[in-house]
């Protein structure tokens, strides 16, 4: 070992960071994992560090495991009571090596594997930035790590493990949420307004200053609604995070029948009050312009709120949701080559005459003995919202479902991860909405 590169009594450092970097670099060349073992503070001011101890990671012995007699799988031993180490003391403003033990009592790592030791693993600034961008884009940690591994020519060439990347992202996320959800949201909104002064937002807080409902729309969404907001769809089929808060997306079609988004909202719950706040906020954002028709699912709370806020708007039901509910309630009628679903869809899509609809519906009920079925009775009572013979008088622009684009729904569901916190959710979704806006 070269004299300048090996610890020697009397060598001095300007600060403790320099001393640790020297010890860790020495550990890398020799083949062991370095560890900070402890410090001693001045008895006078109790702040100044007058001594610091750096050791081998195998220093000391493991405490006896109280479960030893009952445990079947014991963790491998990692401590060998190795005495190798270095001690620095504060001498006239500099930290000087006053003790150094070189010998180890265990095998040392080869240079081919030393980079995977704990003290040597490190995420570089470039790698950290790449991880942040991948997370903001909605990529999973495993996908990001695999991609970075391929770029480096294999996992062995990375200077960190997947666990290191997970810990880095977790710590950064925790720091970003130090001021709570409200503080993070206010900072996020402020950043959006700086980039886009026309960015519209509105949110509610409860008595504990926790976020309940949030609505936002950028300038592109507001302009699109002004031109193409005659028929809109409200889809609330996404659950965004560990609290299962619903994400609702307002969408529609432009003059090329391309999918466009008019706004998004993160709701606390799906009550009538929440939906009333949402519809009132949506109208306020768009200068009180009402759509001619709005498609939703069969949520009764949403229907009541829509009727109270905008009773003049035609309320249509998503045919996809109706079909799925039909399968849920009457799946037993669709087995063994049954034509129930075909005949039900005929009532929903193909019949233009009201009297013919009534005849076909009566025949469907009779053929499958559904006279007492509560779901069929309930769906018949609101036939004006889904049957084509009634819907043909609505302005629909060809829309019949809230899920007007499978690609949009797939993209949104890819970023609404149940494990996401609010910062991860907003960054992922905002990035997606921006991409969708650029691509259309």
440 pLDDT tier (thresholds 50, 70, 90): very low
Residue 135 maps to a domain: yes
d(CA 90, CA 88): 7
User: What pLDDT shows up at residue 409?
Assistant: 64
238 backbone dihedrals φ, ψ, rounded to 5°: -105, 135
Residue 132 maps to a domain: yes
Q: Decide which of 164 and 76 is more confident.
A: 164
DSSP count for the chain of H helices, then E strands: 15, 12
Q: What is the mean pLDDT of the chain?
A: 82
Beta bridge partners of 317: 296
Q: Are residues 310 and 425 in the same domain?
A: yes
d(CA 177, CA 67): 38
What is the model's pTM? 0.61
Q: Are residues 362 and 373 in the same domain?
A: yes
User: What pLDDT shows up at residue 259?
Assistant: 84
49 backbone dihedrals φ, ψ, rounded to 5°: -85, 120
Sheet holding 85-91, edge to edge: 12-13, 94-101, 85-91, 49-56, 34-41
User: What pLDDT shows up at residue 177?
Assistant: 46
> Of 128-142, 246-260, 401-415, where does mean pLDDT reach its minimum?
401-415
Q: Are residues 294 and 429 in the same domain?
A: yes
Q: Are residues 138 and 190 in the same domain?
A: no
Sheet holding 246-253, edge to edge: 200-205, 211-217, 259-266, 246-253, 231-239, 293-296, 314-317
Over residues 117-141, mean pLDDT: 76
d(CA 259, CA 30): 61
Q: Residue 386, SS3?
A: coil
Q: Are residues 7 and 141 in the same domain?
A: no
Residue 385 maps to a domain: yes
User: What pLDDT shows up at residue 103?
Assistant: 92
As to burial, measured by CB atoms within 10 angstroms (0-12 exposed, 13-18 middle, 19+ buried), residue 305 is buried
Q: Are residues 248 and 384 in the same domain?
A: no
Count Cβ neighbours within 10 Å for each residue of 69-105 and write b for 16 or more, e otherwise. eeeeeeeeeeebebebbbbbebeeeebbbeebeeebe
Residue 226 maps to a domain: yes
Q: Are residues 301 and 384 in the same domain?
A: no
d(CA 244, CA 211): 14
303 backbone dihedrals φ, ψ, rounded to 5°: -65, -45
Residue pLDDT, tens place only, 137-150: 667 778 888 888 88
Residue 197 maps to a domain: yes
Q: Are residues 230 and 240 in the same domain?
A: yes
Most confident by average pLDDT, 68-77, 118-127, 247-256: 247-256
Q: Are residues 197 and 258 in the same domain?
A: yes
Residue 68 maps to a domain: no
- Mark which of 391, 412, 430 sits at the end of a domain: 391
Residue 65 maps to a domain: no
User: What pLDDT shows up at residue 439?
Assistant: 41
Residue pLDDT, tens place only, 348-390: 999 999 999 999 999 999 999 999 999 999 999 999 999 999 9
Over residues 111-136, mean pLDDT: 76
Beta bridge partners of 316: 295
Residue 270 maps to a domain: yes
Task: Give the list of residues 6+ apart from residue 336 with CB closer than 8 angstroms, or none.
Answer: none
Task: Give the list of residues 6+ apart from residue 3 with CB closer than 8 angstroms, or none.
Answer: none
Containing structural domain, residue 40: 1-59+79-120
- Mark which of 176, 196, 217 sits at the end of a domain: 176
């Amino acid at each position: 070992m070269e004299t300048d590169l090996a610890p020697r009594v009397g060598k001095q450092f300007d600060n403790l960071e320099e001393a640790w970097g020297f010890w860790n670099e020495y550990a890398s060349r020799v083949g062991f994992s370095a560890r900070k073992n402890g410090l001693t503070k001045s008895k006078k001011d109790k702040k100044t560090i007058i001594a610091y101890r750096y050791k081998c990671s195998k220093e000391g012995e493991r405490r006896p495991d109280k479960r030893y007699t009952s445990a079947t799988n014991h963790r491998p031993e990692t401590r060998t009571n190795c005495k190798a180490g270095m001690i620095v003391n504060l001498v006239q403003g500099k930290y000087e090596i006053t003790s150094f033990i070189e010998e180890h009592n265990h095998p040392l790592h080869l240079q081919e594997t030393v980079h995977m030791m704990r003290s040597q693993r490190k995420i570089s600034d470039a790698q950290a930035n790449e991880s942040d961008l991948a997370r903001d884009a909605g990529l999973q940690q495993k996908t990001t790590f695999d991609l970075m591994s391929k770029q480096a020519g294999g996992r062995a060439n990375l200077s960190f493990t997947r666990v290191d990347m997970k810990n880095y992202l977790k710590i950064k996320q925790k720091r970003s949420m130090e001021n709570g959800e409200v503080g993070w949201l206010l900072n996020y909104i402020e950043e959006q307004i700086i980039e886009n002064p026309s960015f519209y937002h509105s949110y509610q807080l409860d008595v504990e200053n926790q976020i309940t409902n949030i609505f936002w729309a950028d300038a592109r969404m507001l302009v699109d609604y002004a031109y193409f907001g005659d028929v809109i769809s409200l889809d609330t089929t996404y659950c965004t995070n560990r609290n299962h808060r619903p994400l609702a997306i307002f969408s529609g079609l432009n003059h090329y029948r391309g999918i466009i988004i008019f706004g998004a909202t993160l709701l606390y719950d799906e009550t009538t009050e929440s939906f009333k706040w949402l519809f009132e906020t949506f109208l306020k954002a768009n200068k009180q312009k009402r759509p001619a028709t709005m498609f939703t699912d069969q949520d009764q709370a949403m229907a009541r709120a829509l009727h109270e806020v905008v009773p003049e708007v035609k309320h249509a039901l998503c045919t996809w949701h109706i079909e799925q509910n039909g399968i849920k309630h009457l799946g037993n009628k669709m087995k063994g080559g049954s034509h129930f679903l075909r005949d039900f869809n005929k009532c929903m899509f193909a019949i233009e005459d009201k009297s013919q609809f009534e005849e076909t519906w009566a025949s469907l009920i009779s053929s499958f003995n559904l006279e007492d079925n509560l779901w069929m009775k309930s769906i018949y009572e609101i036939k004006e919202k889904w049957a084509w013979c009634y819907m043909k008088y609505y302005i629909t622009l060809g829309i019949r479902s809230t899920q007007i684009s499978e690609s949009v729904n797939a993209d949104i569901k890819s970023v609404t991860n149940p494990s996401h916190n609010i910062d991860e959710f907003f960054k992922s979704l905002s990035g997606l909405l921006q991409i969708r806006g650029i691509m259309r």
